[in-house]
Amino acid sequence: MKRFLLATALIAFATAADAQQPQLPAPQPIPRQTPTLPPPTLGSATFVYTATTGAPVRHSGSVTAGTLTWTCRDTTCTIRGPWPQPGVAACAALAREIGRIVSYGRPGAMLNTAQITQCNGNLPPSLPPPPPPPPPPPPPAPGIEIATSLVRAEGSPLAHAPPPTGAFTPVDITTSTVRAEGSPEAVAPPPGPFSPIDITTSTVRAEGAPP
C-alpha cells in the first residue's frame, strides 16, 4: 500500500512539473522574399535655348556670358542645359556680350516682351559709327605754266626745229637736266590755246617769281 501511494505521488509531481515549463511555439516557415528593383530614376532633362539678336552678334564662336558658354553665329546663339525656365539675368549677361536680344528661351518657355526689355536694360551705349574715310587726294596737275620773259634750257636736247611757217609744232626734248630762269612778265600772256611741250628728264628746276 505504501509503495502504491509513493508511486502515485511521484507521477503527480512529474505531471505538475511538466505543466509549469513554458511551451515553445511551433516553428513557422520562413517566408521567401522576392527581390525587387528600385524604381527607375529619371535623368535630368536637357533643353536647347536660343537667343536671337536684331543685328549680327558682336562675337562669333564660343561666347562666355556669366557662367554659361554659348555658341554664336550670325544673329543666333544656342546652348543646352537642364534649366526648365529661361532667366532674365542670364539673358542680360548674354546681351552685354553679343548686343541687343529680340527673343530668348526654348520651345514652350520664352521670355515675354517686358522681360526682353529688362534683358536689354543695362546694355552699354552704342558706339558712334566711324567717320567716313577722307576723300582721295586730287590728281596731280597735268603740267606747270610759267609766264616769264626769259626761259633757258640747259642740256643735250634731241629736237627738231619747227617749220618756218604755219602752226606751232610741239617739241619733244629728252635731257638729264632742265633749268628755267627768268623774271615775271608785267602783263599776262596773250589769250589763245596752250601748246604743250613734252620733256623727259630726271631733273627739272624753275627759278623766278610768279607774274
Classified as helix, coil or strand, 40 is: coil
Q: pTM for the complete prediction?
A: 0.42
Backbone angles phi, psi at 93, to 5 degrees: -65, -40
pLDDT(37) > 60: no
Q: With respect to residue 94, please indicate whether it lies within any of the assigned structural domains.
A: yes
User: Looking at residues 176-192, what average pLDDT do you find?
Assistant: 60
pLDDT(41) > 60: no
State the total domains in the chain: 1
Model pLDDT for residues 61-105, shown as the tens digit of each residue:
999 998 999 999 999 999 999 999 999 999 999 999 999 999 999
The full DSSP string for 133-167 is: PPPPPPPPPS-----BS-----S-----PPPSSSS
Q: With respect to residue 156, please indicate whether it lies within any of the assigned structural domains.
A: no
Q: With respect to residue 70, please indicate whether it lies within any of the assigned structural domains.
A: yes
Q: With respect to residue 86, please indicate whether it lies within any of the assigned structural domains.
A: yes
Q: With respect to residue 154, please indicate whether it lies within any of the assigned structural domains.
A: no
Q: With respect to residue 99, please indicate whether it lies within any of the assigned structural domains.
A: yes
Q: With respect to residue 36, please indicate whether it lies within any of the assigned structural domains.
A: no
Q: With respect to residue 126, please indicate whether it lies within any of the assigned structural domains.
A: no
Cα–Cα distance list, 111 to 44, 91, 96, 119, 148 (Å): 22, 9, 17, 9, 82
Domain that holds residue 63: 47-120
Model pLDDT for residues 122-180, shown as the tens digit of each residue:
776 555 566 788 888 887 766 555 555 555 655 555 455 555 655 555 656 566 665 65
Measured CA to CA, the distance from residue 203 to residue 6 in angstroms comes to 167
Instruction: Give the pLDDT confidence score for residue 133 in this predicted structure.
Output: 85
